Amino acid sequence: MNIATILDMAAEAFGDRIGVVCGTQRLSYAELRQAAWNAAVAIKTSGASYVALLDVTSPAAPVALFAAAYAGLPYVPLNYRLTKAEINELVARVSPAYLVTSPDYAKLVDAHAGVTLVDRNAFMSLPAIEGEPPIPGDDPREVAVQLFTSGTTGKPKAAILRHENLSSYIFGTIEFACAEEDDAILVTVPPYHIAGISAVLSSTYACRRMVQLDGFEAGTWLAACRSENVSNAFLVPTMLQRVVDHLAERGESANLPALRALAYGGGKMPLATIQKAMALLPGVDFTNAYGLTETSSTIAVLTPDDHRAAASSTDPAVCRRLGSVGKPGAVEIEIRDDEGKVLGAEEAGLVFVRGPQVSGEYLSLGSQLDAEGWFPTKDRGYLDAEGYLFLDGRSDDVIVRGGENISPGEIEDVLLGHAAVADVAVVAMPDEQWGEAVAAAIVLKPGAVVPVAELQELVKARLRSSRVPQKIIFKDALPYNETGKVLRRVIRQEFASA
Amino acid sequence: MATALKAGARFKSAVCDTQVMVIKAPPGEHALQCGGADVIAPTAAGSGTLDAALSGETLIGKRYVNADESVELLCTKGGQGSLVLDGMPMEVKQAKQLPSSD
């Protein structure tokens, strides 16, 4: 089993169809495979053990992913937003490497013995192979992709995804060549994110044209949707928020007649954002996709029908599902308490997942699966009676106040309900009496003023006194990473050092 | 001829264009045929003629399973012959297709 088979099949069945578009570059699936073959031979000749990419999204990303598979080496896309020191530490960890990059990022890489730097343009114009094309390996246990997780503490962990994990996700959840001739998906997630990897694999297997944008700006995204007749797109919540704001600020109608499906994930979606987006794009199918790097992407989906049912129902149990991540896809999900006991419906605990697409494995740390094959996601949440999964933050983010576990999510939801509050993050702060206390960093809407006591009173009235933030600070903006996850660690440090 | 079917292993038909990859199979030997002839290694040279009674076509991208779904193959290249495992025709399995999420 090898993910190269995905490209082989697309090139075999729809070789003339455009596979990837980036600016003025357009490659058919046959051209994509030819480029991957050429690169695989060059990679093998270099003697590298890893194929790395340090660059924004471009056609070089799918070519490098598949070339690594043909060459039988792990593909390691690196986060180009890291500091020079962090980048060089990761480069050293994958040496000897064949590193594809562009001039802006090449200058960040120190000379490492064993690292072959290859310019992106040269990589895309390698000489055509002579003779038989490379035959991909068939060992399903070979490593296909290695992703360095962002790692909130300590060194980044190297998550391992084997050919069997990624293949079973693709073969098990997508019908081959299910895309129509004119379909296109707009890809804005960076290549080093699991959603960037799965976008390439899913689109190729569906034989759907990928339209790449090397960054995200709402106006550019809308323009690309229109000019490329984009039918499908994936956005992280922050990006969808910006699209909604962009349209609202200009009083512009969305005017995206070709757009049929919009999937979102990668972080918590504010209820108000998805409600506004559904109102602005009434003809679009919305899908909430929940997944992790260690699970080869999506493990649960809230389908378009679920979205419509939740939006139109008068049953509170159905309405609230707009805030859920839906039902398990091709995996099993269960909720356990801190002692490992499996919990019933509506009981909150830790989310565990099991299935062939789940790798749950890090280089040097080994497999994190338990004896029965379950992976601890470290997300907290609960299932409702019909199996819809509701997430409630990361277990690392839980505030332990005097022995009581407090989830930041419920407090944030209450504070976001205040008319003056635009954004909020609730974190733990050190406290002599309680060990940890509740603290909130709040961004007010432009021009709004609200006394701290009013916000504290709101939480007390809606939840209970132990949930009331002991300290509230007002900020111009909260720190986010590029995929829309709020950086709680940075906010915690701010309270700890105050 | 009986062959071990290991996950990831690839075979091709001796008598048509069909190619398959093993998605899953229990340990042990199986007789896998396509178009009436034993399948062969992907690099081997084909020989023989297609059995007209077993030319129901195998379609690229479809997954083929036996009755209890313990053996699952993915057709990676389509061809005229139909797949037979241990004397029984294999059936198409539908993907648990999810709404496009990435």
DSSP string for residues in A316-331: HHHHGGGGS--EESSS
Q: What percent of chain B has pLDDT over 90?
A: 79
How distant, in Å, are the alpha carbons of A38, A407, A425, A428 from that of A410? Answer: 53, 6, 11, 14
Indicate the range of A372-376, A409-413, A436-440 predicted with least confidence.
Answer: A409-413
Which of B7, B94, B102 is the closest to A1 by Cβ?
A: B7
- For residue A113, count other CB atoms closer than 10 A to its CB: 7
Residue range A425-437, pLDDT digits in tens: 999 999 888 889 9
How distant, in Å, are the alpha carbons of A227, A240, A243, A264, B61 from that of A217? Answer: 15, 11, 8, 16, 36
Yes or no: say if A167 and A140 are a contact pair by the CB < 8 Å rule: yes
Pick among A138, A204, A292 to test the B interface (most B CBs inside 10 A): A138
Dmax (CA) of chain A = 76
Work out the pLDDT band at A324, boundaries 50, 70, 90.
very high
Q: Would the CB atoms of B63 and A171 count as touching at under 8 Å?
A: yes
Q: Would the CB atoms of B21 and A5 count as touching at under 8 Å?
A: yes
Nearest to A226 by CA among A247, A248, A257: A257
Q: Is A151's pLDDT higher than 60?
A: no
State the complex-level ipTM: 0.91
| Coil vs helix vs strand at A402 | coil
Residue with tokens 């503490």: A153
Closest CA in chain A for residue B99: A303
Question: Both tokens of residue B65?
Answer: 């399973």
Nearest to A142 by CA among A80, A198, A194, A68: A68
Nearest to B81 by CA among B43, B41, B36: B36
Q: Is A331's pLDDT higher than 60?
A: yes
Average pLDDT over residues A159-165: 97
Q: Is A407's pLDDT higher than 90?
A: no
- For residue A112, count other CB atoms closer than 10 A to its CB: 16
Nearest to A328 by CA among A288, A291, A299, A359: A299
In this prediction the pTM is: 0.90
Residue range A56-82, pLDDT digits in tens: 999 999 999 999 999 999 999 999 988
Average pLDDT over residues A162-174: 93
Residues in contact with B41: Cβ distance below 8 Å, sequence separation at least 6, in sequence order = B11, B12
- What is the 3-class SS of A459-491, one letter each residue? HHHHCCHHHCCCEEEECCCCCECCCCCECHHHH
Which of A139, A185, A263 is the closest to B8 by Cβ?
A: A139
Indicate the pairing of strand A261-264 with strand A285-292: parallel
Average pLDDT over residues A39-61: 97
CB pairs under 8 A between A and B: 98
Of A153 and B76, the structure prediction assigns the larger pLDDT to B76
Yes or no: say if A89 and A77 are a contact pair by the CB < 8 Å rule: no
Residues in contact with A227: Cβ distance below 8 Å, sequence separation at least 6, in sequence order = none
Residue range A333-388, pLDDT digits in tens: 999 998 999 999 999 999 999 999 999 999 989 999 999 999 999 999 999 999 99
Q: Which residues pair with A254 in a beta bridge?
A: none
H or E stretch covering B67: none
Question: Both tokens of residue A54?
Answer: 């340090």
Q: Would the CB atoms of B100 and A263 count as touching at under 8 Å?
A: yes
Mean pLDDT for chain A overall: 93
Yes or no: say if A172 and A108 are a contact pair by the CB < 8 Å rule: no
